[in-house]
Structure 1
Amino acid sequence: MPAKLVCWNCGESLADQPMPISRHDQCPACYEVLHCCLMCRFYSPGKTIDCEEERAAPPVEKATANFCDFFRPVNRFDAVRSGRGEQARAQLDSLFGATNTEVSINGQSDGAPNDDALRKLDDLFDD
């Protein structure tokens, strides 16, 4: 087992995590399940059942908790994969223009750019 185990989803250290990892254990930072194919050393995307252990009965969803007796935790955090959300947001901002206005809980905007759009919408429907 690796000296420093980290979550497969967020990269948070699991040093305080009791071993062995239970099917019910979750990452303390992102709350993803830990006993899943994505955190197992036998997980091998591209293989017939995405697993190097031939006797395993693999679950369909690799990110869900399972009862696999062959589970061996390993560091599977991929910083490139975890940054895809920020990359997608940057691409959307470049396509549609970045807006720094946030909508508050009551649905009102905190900035002027949305006010202009709302005014145009009201003019369109004569409200």
Structure 2
Amino acid sequence: MAGTGEPATRPVYADENVRKELRDSFVGLHGANGYNENAEMPVTFRKLPGVERIVRAHAKLEFSPTIEERHAQQAMELVGQSLQGYQKTEDGTPSTRTSARRARGRPRKTGSRTSSRRSKS
């Protein structure tokens, strides 16, 4: 710990079941809150390490050397709450921004900006 001469320890999962439960509940976020299977979704597997950092932070707040199920549940609750307002207006109604783009025939954005640009030759 800082100031005690001991190195800071990184919390580890209490057992593999805690890690598995975290990943299962993370996968379940994709269908949460009534999202359409084809709709744009802010939850991708690239975000799982970020959720794992939140879980570790919860364990560190309690000075726990292990990550327990309660830490994973707290983190998933936090992530779930943050996603409830995704693509909604201030009054809670669904945003029409992405649906309007699709209605005009524009494709969904992909991860790479360079793939959609044409080279000037």
The structure carrying a bigger helix percent of its residues is: 2
Structure with the greater alpha carbon radius of gyration: 1
**TM-score (structure 1 length as normaliser):** 0.31
**TM-score (structure 2 length as normaliser):** 0.32
